[in-house]
């Protein structure tokens, strides 16, 4: 019932990357407890680390199952978290919360420049998207990548000090070169529909290229593009023209096709894409699918297509 990208509490929806506690908004991408940093899927309570992917949230004597990112905020009782195996008194939870320290924001610098101001696309960018909004998207998309990839600390991530967006006249849509994202003003000009939402999705894809591992250059290019679109998909910015689940001819066709296939794999094992990406830090083999899911990637693709046939 909860979108993995949003938290609902007392009628308010929160981004998964932000936790509001006593009127302060914390970045959840790095959770620091007693000097140990954990990913979003782990919670340390009294020295025991629990997987947060399967939790029961106890509220008003009625447990609710929440699939992912299970932080429910109750304004009167602060934060209540219950691993499925245990229940805690609200007072204990309050003590637990008092021991939680959330890290400060990361030191990545996000910049945006419009070099196409004199063109129709540049003007539309300024009026319907804007530099400030774009910089925020770069930051939000980065946090989202760290969450999807389960990279709570800088040591887990690619070393990126700066991500720059440059709007310019060019063919195509966008590309990322050395953490400089080039966005086509001509594409902005010609897009029919909600251009702000479209470009937000494009930026999630391009920002992912800055944070994903590429197997030291050995990874399948279709998989690289598929992971970038998987992040865009999970962020809720899949455009209407994408193929749906089960679409496409090959697992490594790239982009939306591979993204939907990866979403199927993620359904087989939560955190699959994070683990696959982590393996791609030092190299690449199709066998990573076998190692993680017990089936070859070709068998997984056959299973996936069979599920959606007929």
Binding site for Zn ion (CB under 5 A): 225, 228
Phi and psi at residue 245, to the nearest 5°: -55, 135
User: Is the distance from CB of 114 to CB of 164 less than 8 angstroms?
Assistant: no
**Nearest-approach distance from CB 229 to Zn ion, in angstroms:** 8
CB nearer Zn ion, residue 225 or residue 263: 225
Contact yes or no for 210/176 (Cβ under 8 A): yes
**β pairing state of 6-9 and 12-15:** antiparallel
Using the minimum distance from each CB to Zn ion, give the nearer residue, 82 or 191.
Answer: 191
Least Cβ distance, residue 224 to Zn ion (angstroms): 7
Residue closer to Zn ion, measured from CB, 50 or 251: 251
CB of 255 to Zn ion, least distance (A): 8
User: Measured from the CB of residue 219, what is the shortest distance to Zn ion in angstroms?
Assistant: 13
265 token code pair: 């794999």
Q: What's the chain's Rg over C-alpha atoms?
A: 20
Which residues on adjacent β-strands are paired with residue 26?
A: 19
Using a 10 angstrom Cβ sphere, with 0-12 exposed, 13-18 middle and 19 or more buried, the burial of residue 284 is buried
Cβ nearer to Zn ion, comparing 71 with 261: 261
CB nearer to Zn ion: pick between 70 and 215: 215
Reported for 304-309, long-range contacts at CB under 8 A and 24+ positions apart, including other chains, are 304/246, 304/251, 304/261, 304/264, 305/246, 307/246, 307/264, 308/245, 308/246, 309/246
Q: How far is the CB of 186 from Zn ion (least distance, A)?
A: 18
* 3-class DSSP state of 49: strand
Closest separation in Å from C-beta 145 to Zn ion: 13
Which of 2, 284 has the CB closer to Zn ion?
284
């Amino acid at each position: 019932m909860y979108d993995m990208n949003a938290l609902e509490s007392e009628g308010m929806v929160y981004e998964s990357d932000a936790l509001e506690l006593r009127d302060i908004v914390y970045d959840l991408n790095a959770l620091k407890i007693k000097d140990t940093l954990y990913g979003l899927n782990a919670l340390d309570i009294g020295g025991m680390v629990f997987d947060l992917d399967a939790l029961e949230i106890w509220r008003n004597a009625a447990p609710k199952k929440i699939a992912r990112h299970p932080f429910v905020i109750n304004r009167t009782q602060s934060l209540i978290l219950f691993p499925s195996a245990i229940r805690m008194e609200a007072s204990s939870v309050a003590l637990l919360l008092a021991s939680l320290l959330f890290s400060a924001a990361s030191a990545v610098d996000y910049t945006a420049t419009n070099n196409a101001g004199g063109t129709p696309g540049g003007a539309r960018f300024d009026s319907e998207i804007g530099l400030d909004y774009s910089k925020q998207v770069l930051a939000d998309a980065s946090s989202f990548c760290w969450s999807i990839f389960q990279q709570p600390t800088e040591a887990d991530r690619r070393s990126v000090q700066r991500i720059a967006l440059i709007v310019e006249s060019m063919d195509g849509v966008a590309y990322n070169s050395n953490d400089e994202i080039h966005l086509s003003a001509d594409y902005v000009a010609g897009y029919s529909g909600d251009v702000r939402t479209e470009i937000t999705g494009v930026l999630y894809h391009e920002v992912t290229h800055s944070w994903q591992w590429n197997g030291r250059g050995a990874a399948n290019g279709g998989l690289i593009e598929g992971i970038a679109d998987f992040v865009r998909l999970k962020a809720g910015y899949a455009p209407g023209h994408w193929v749906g689940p089960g679409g496409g001819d090959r697992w490594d066709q790239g982009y939306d096709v591979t993204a939907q296939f990866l979403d199927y794999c993620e359904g087989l094992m939560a955190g699959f894409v994070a683990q696959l990406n982590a393996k791609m830090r030092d190299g690449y083999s199709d066998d990573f699918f076998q190692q993680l899911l017990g089936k070859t990637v070709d068998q997984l693709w056959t299973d996936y297509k069979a599920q959606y046939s007929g």
